[in-house]
Chain A
Amino acid sequence: MKVRKLAIGLLLIGIIGSSFGILAAAAPFRVAFVMPSTINDSAWSQSMYEALMAIQKEMGKDNFQIDYSENMFVISDAAAAIRDYASQGYNLIIAHGSQYGSSLVDIAPDFPNVSFAWGSTANTFSDMGITNVFSYQPYSEQGGYVQGVLAAKLSQSGIIGVIGPIETGDAKRYTEGFKAGVLATNPNATVSVTWTGSYSDVSLAAETARTMINAGADVLTGTSQMVIGAIGVAKKHGVLWFGYDVDQSPLAPKIVVSSVIVDWTVALKPMIESIQNGVLGGKVFPLTLANGGLKIAVNPEGLVGQTIDDIISGKIQINLGD
């Protein structure tokens, strides 16, 4: 009898266990996304959100779930959100900002089965013995360089303005690359760089753009969500604009030449694969022109589109010379 009970017991345990296994296999991949601004900021956070949505579209809503927290400008709020998501058993928590790193050092070791990712940085804290943190790093200077070359070619005054938020991280890399691109193409050009000290001061970004235009700038660029103020001013004055983060041409189709866009799926896809294979951290995912993580989105309605329209409408008559 005892043996029989034991056998039934074992069988039951087996059934329960295997059904758990089945459940586990069918469980969706759950991602939590903590960001400093909002999913519709036309910049940094929106680009990551769009990448997550693209992956969800590929994998299906049932297999890939996304939850997010917006407006986590305050680091302690973000840390609370990250810890909360971790304790709810998400597979991957994306802390989308270099300001969140110190919080991850605190939180990640407490949740060894949860994977964390942050950027822009190349630091996964592996030197501190942490094994469940990934990082991602766009090589923004590459995209900046390309746009710098274009800007130098298009500028007639040779004065080009860059409006940045805070002199660090992604914004600094983009700016340095842009400057290098301009100066390599036109060594006599002036690149005037202004930092506003804020990611969100739209008003100051607008006034900076005005001051640059008054100083003779005829091509502008800039990073972070505050630049919509500068784009508004550039649009009003008919000054060319180079975008960053997302394709900014819908904001001002006539003046946006191109935008450097970050395709985060290039980092996210191998990251998710790695987690599914049981490696929860320790890797840095670069986003470059080479691997497709950085792209240059040329505005079809800008200079190219305008010229095509003008030819169709007859506004431009091409003289064949005979």
Chain B
Amino acid sequence: MIGSVIAGIASSAVRLATPYLYAAIGETIGQLSGVLNLGVDGIMLMGAYVAFFIVLRTGSLSLGLISAAGIGAVLGLLMAFISVTLKAEQGISGIGLYIFGLGLSTLLFGMTVGHVQTIDGFPDLVIPGLSAIPVIGDIFFHHNILVYVAFALVPIAWFVLNRTPFGLKVRAAGQKPEAADSLGVNVERIRYMTVILGGTLSGVAGASLSIALLNTFQQNLTNGMGFIAVALVYFGGWRTSGVLLGALLFSTVNAIQVWLQVKGVNVPSDFALMMPYVVTILVLTAMAKRRVNTPAALNKPFERGES
């Protein structure tokens, strides 16, 4: 009994965490290089819309996924151009990008699809062998492919950021861009790459909703998830493991509150709904002192030759 309860809640949490992982890992890479992109939610919406539209019209899930990644990369490029080349204030241009993505996805949805529809998205891919392990199998190995990829992304991103020359350059661009520049690192190019990569992952985050987890599209489908993803980057202290922990904590508490209500446990629904946010704030407060590795050049455009 207790095993199935834990399995049910944890398996919900794993699914709920998926879009946050893509978006927050992408945002972590961008922020480590010194660019704050608040447009994540807008990029997610465009990714979600494009993936949904392509699957609706062609039936090809992989084409939908690639298109979502593509539109994410294009919007990342736009953000990079605005914040790196034009050196516009990052916070404001990010909010602009969000509103642009929200508006454009709504407009295109209205013009091309018109009304809410459902599609057949990525099916669950039960991993042979592993899925038979009691509890663990139910929690981790009964999901669609985009869930697995999201979790695989965490160690991959950690490795790239901490064990490769590229990762070193990314962190240098975000901590001491002048020093990095003097050592021959092309700071602007690095930032372009990270923001485009972040955009790509945000696009995939949107696709994970529209063609894998929810299999539908609606105006403002993400409901502000992109902003929670940005918050998770701070929560996780710009570490991929911290982001994973934050995403899992937030979605576990969310899964618990859903489960409590479904099971008819007598808690007021308003209280249950507050829980994810209250717990997140409590943990954030408890960890406040330990959070020291804010990228020094975050939110600061790099001017070559200045110092």
Contacts and interface: CB of A to CB of B under 8 A. Distances in A.
A208 B219 contact: no
B59 interface: no
A155 interface: no
A42 B115 contact: yes
A204 interface: yes
Interface in A277-319: none
B10 to A, nearest CB: 12
B213 A203 contact: yes
B306 interface: no
B19 interface: yes
Interface in A119-178: 161, 167
Interface string B213-233: 111101111010100000000
A212 interface: yes
B19 A203 contact: yes
B12 A228 contact: no
Given A206-B214, A207-B12, A228-B218, A40 B115 contact: yes
Contacts of B118: 228, 231-232, 235, 251-252
Nearest to B251: A207
B259 A211 contact: yes
A250 B113 CA distance: 14
Contact of A201 (B223, B259, B269): B223
Interface stretch (B70-78, B82-90, B260-268): B260-268
Contacts of B301: none
A229 B219 contact: no
A307 to B, nearest CB: 23
Contacts of B213: 203, 206
Nearest to A190: B264
Interface string A209-251: 0111011000000000100110110011000000000000011
Contact of B209 (A190, A195, A198, A203): A203
Contacts of B262: 161, 192, 194, 208, 211-212, 215
A74 to B, nearest CB: 13
A250 B117 CA distance: 8
B255 interface: yes
Contact-residue size bin, chain A (C-beta under 8 Å from the other chain): 35 or more
A202 interface: yes
Contacts of B254: 204, 207
Most buried by B among A38, A225, A252: A38
A51 interface: no
Interface string B4-39: 000010001001100100000000000000000000
A173 B8 CA distance: 30
B116 A167 contact: no
Nearest to B119: A232
Given A194-B258, A195-B261, A206-B213, A41 B273 contact: no
Contacts of B209: 202-203
A37 interface: yes
A200 interface: yes
Most buried by B among A40, A190, A203, A225: A203
A98 interface: no
A228 B116 contact: yes
A132 B138 CA distance: 59
B155 interface: no
A225 B215 contact: no
Contacts of A193: 261, 264
A195 B218 CA distance: 20
B230 to A, nearest CB: 17
A167 B269 CA distance: 8
9 contacts: A40-B110, A40-B116, A42-B116, A71-B220, A161-B262, A201-B223, A203-B213, A204-B258, A228-B218
Given A71-B219, A228-B116, 20 more contacts: A37-B219, A40-B115, A192-B261, A192-B262, A193-B261, A195-B261, A197-B273, A200-B223, A204-B16, A207-B16, A208-B258, A211-B8, A212-B262, A231-B118, A231-B216, A232-B118, A232-B215, A232-B216, A235-B215, A251-B118
Closest 5 CB pairs of A and B: A197-B273, A195-B269, A194-B261, A42-B116, A232-B215
Interface of B: 8, 12, 15-16, 19, 106, 110, 114-118, 209, 213-216, 218-221, 223, 225, 254-255, 258-259, 261-264, 269-270, 273
